Amino acid sequence: MKNRILGILFSAILLAGVGCSGNKTEKLPGEGAYDTAETNEAAAKQTAQLAYICPMECEGSASNEPGKCPVCAMDLVKNPHYKGTTAPDSAAQVAN
């Protein structure tokens, strides 16, 4: 009976330890934490320079050419925030 109780107690402690090991604590400013607002702003500026982006917003997938995302293999779509020259697909139609 004593071995059974010790086994159950050990299992409970083991499961609690495994369950808590995935928890990440948020770093405080000055402890190497990064500001997500600044990171998002920098990424938005970089993406605004490219004509096509991944609809899943995969990192490093934006391009000036249509194609597929190298991360998720989805078709790239026109970037609504693109501030460069007119994208090849949106060329003005010739008047008749």
> Quick one: pLDDT band at residue 96, thresholds 50, 70, 90?
very low
Asked whether residue 63 is assigned to any structural domain, the reply reads yes
Burial class (CB within 10 angstroms; exposed 0-12, middle 13-18, buried 19+) of 52: buried
Asked whether residue 55 is assigned to any structural domain, the reply reads yes
Asked whether residue 1 is assigned to any structural domain, the reply reads no
Higher pLDDT, 28 or 3: 3
pTM, full prediction: 0.43
pLDDT at residue 91 in the model: 47
Q: How far is 10 from 15, CA to CA, in rounded Å?
A: 9
Burial class (CB within 10 angstroms; exposed 0-12, middle 13-18, buried 19+) of 62: buried
Question: Which of helix, strand or coil describes residue 88?
Answer: helix
User: What secondary structure letter does DSSP report for 92?
Assistant: P
- The average confidence (pLDDT) of the chain is 73
Asked whether residue 68 is assigned to any structural domain, the reply reads yes
- Per the CB < 8 A criterion, the answer to whether 47 and 77 are in contact is no
H helix or E strand, kind and range, residue 78: strand 77-78
> Quick one: pLDDT band at residue 42, thresholds 50, 70, 90?
low
State the total domains in the chain: 1
Residue 29 pLDDT > 60, yes or no? no
Residue 21 pLDDT > 80, yes or no? no
- The parent domain of residue 69 ranges over 51-82
Residue 79 pLDDT > 60, yes or no? yes
* Both structure tokens of 89: 């697909």
Residue 67 pLDDT > 90, yes or no? yes
